[in-house]
Amino acid sequence: MALTLVSTLEGHEDIVWQVAWNGGILSSCGSDLSVRIWQKEKETTEYECTCILNKSHKRTIRSLQWSRDGQYLATASFDSTVNIWKFTPSSKSNDNEDSFECVSTLKGQEKELKSVCWSPNWKNFSLKKQYLACCSRDHSVWIWEKISSDDFEISEVLEGHEGDVKHVGFSPTEPILVSSSYDNSVRIWSHVSLNSDKKQKKGNSKGGKLVDELDEEMEWKAQGKLADHTNIVTSTSFSADGKILVSVSADRSLIIYEKKEEQEQEQEKELENVKEEEKVKGEEYKGKSALYEFSSYIQSTAGWVIRQKIENLHERNIMSVDIKKDDSKLTIATCGEDDCIHILQEDENNVIQKIISIPNAHKSDINCVTWGENNLLASCGDDRLVKIWKFEN
């Protein structure tokens, strides 16, 4: 088992904050107000910077994500806007070059945006719309819905966090959004059709309405809260089957959560019992005043149970975590302000252990790690470099 350095990509003129893969294409963004696209022409050649997108944001570009079909790139910046770029690869464009066109700008949040995330294709659910979530230092998470090839509308403004929101991520298998924040908590939000879909699947005759019939004013609601960290939760990641959630924090620990259906049902029943005691059968809360109470005092963990907690994983703040999406064994990469990259894997006893450690992977704080195809791992850091590593199992 090894993690070997394959490429070091220079070019950014300031801190590189995030990297994201689109198939074999790597993109990075940073404090130099630019987005850089790195590609290999052939397997045998080196990575080259094939495109630079600058002059699109007025301040640091903090986060970027490719959409599920690889056609759009979203960049979120400290200037409180998100730019949506349409990507036409050279094979499809007229002049044999990759082209990026800024088709939309999303604005409205008041403070610096910290993270952006596209929704995946939820195969087993009736919700077929495409969403983009972004979170900000103004304690809110905004979910935008793509309504046409170049336009977005706000689907929901989610509030409840009591501190800056650092990271957002959608679950790959169900319409659930997870946000992590400076208030040491991870909050779970779900689309209102989630319960209806589940009831329909269970053959519950009361069942819910279909997504298209829902006439709700609230499209996304608070579902639960995980408050197990003792410091800022910097990043989260889902496994490919959506049943494992990993979170890392400035308290230098990593927590692995597992979703238990029975737990979820139990908690729902508990809630029901409490209401029964008050002789009132509660349903979904409508109206702002009741909703506010619910999302403030929410105690439920929405079925997530701690499977394992690893303390002192890094010597300083852990900045990012990513679960490998194409491995049968649970494989996790983390990076931190201690300039280290760690790889963890599930062993025979289903316990997650650190298997590889790369000290001084970068010359300074490492801001992001993300898995790509073919066992590649990309990382970026304050040392202005983007590095690509090859993982051998």
Partner 1 sequence: MTRRSGLIVTDLDDFAPSQVCVNPLVQSKNKESTQITLTLEDLDDNSFNNGNGIGFEPESESESEEEEVQLTLSDCLACSGCITSIESILVNKQSLYKFIKVVSDQKQDNKVVIVSLSPQTRASVATYLNITPFEAQEKIANLFVKLGVHSVYDLSFGRDLYLQGLGEEFLSNCKKIEKIEKDYFEVKKKTQSKVQLNNLSLLLDDDDEYEDDDEEEELKIKIEQETQSEEKVSKNTFPTFVGNCPAWVCLAEKRYPELILPKMSKIMPEQEIMGYLLKKKVAALLSRKEEDIYHVSLMSCYDKKLEASREEFGTKTFGFKLVDSVLTSVEVKDLFQFDDIIAKFEKGEMEKEEMEKKFKKVDPKIDPETYQQILKKNMDNENPETVKQYSNLDYQNKKIYSMRERGSGGICEYLYRQMGQLFFNYQKDEIPKINWVNLRGKDFQSLKLKSKDQKKEIHFIRVYGFKNIQNLLRKMETDQETFHFIEIEACPHSACLNGGGQIKIDQIKKKRVQLNAILNAGQIVDKLEENYFNEKDFVIRLPDLNTEVNQIFEKYFSNENFKILKTEYHNRKKDFDKIKNPLELEW
Residues that bind partner 1 (CB under 8 A): 56, 58-60, 78-80, 83, 102-105, 107-108, 110-112, 137-140, 142, 150-151, 153-157, 159-160, 162-164, 182, 215-217, 219, 275, 278-293, 295-296
Distance CA 234, CA 261 (A): 26
Pure H helices in the chain: 193-201, 261-277, 288-296
Residue closer to partner 1, measured from CB, 263 or 364: 364
Measured from the CB atom, is 51 or 285 closer to partner 1? Answer: 285
Residues 114 and 60 sit within 8 Å (Cβ to Cβ):
no
- For partner 1, the closer CB: 103 or 356: 103
Least distance in Å: CB of 295 to partner 1?
A: 7
Question: What is the closest distance, in whole angstroms, from the C-beta atom of residue 366 to partner 1 in the complex?
Answer: 17
Query: Can you name the residues that pair with 377 across neighbouring β-strands?
Result: 371, 389
Handedness of CA 95, 76, 191, 269 (dihedral sign): positive
Query: Rounded to the nearest whole angstrom, what is the least distance from the CB of residue 351 to partner 1 in the complex?
Result: 33
Between CA 64 and CA 256 the distance in angstroms is 25
CB of 248 to partner 1, least distance (A): 16
| Distance (Å, whole) CA 39 – CA 378 | 13
Q: Show the tokens assigned to 188.
A: 């779970």
249-to-38, 40, 164, 230 alpha-carbon distances in Å: 30, 34, 14, 8
| Residue 81 CB coordination number (10 Å) | 19
> Which lies closer to partner 1 via its Cβ, residue 295 or residue 331?
295
Q: Give the shortest CB-281-to-partner 1 separation in angstroms.
A: 5
Shortest approach of partner 1 to residue 353 CB, angstroms? Answer: 31
Q: Which is nearer to partner 1, 227 or 351 (CB)?
A: 227
Q: Identify which of residues 8 and 296 has a Cβ nearer to partner 1 in the complex.
A: 296
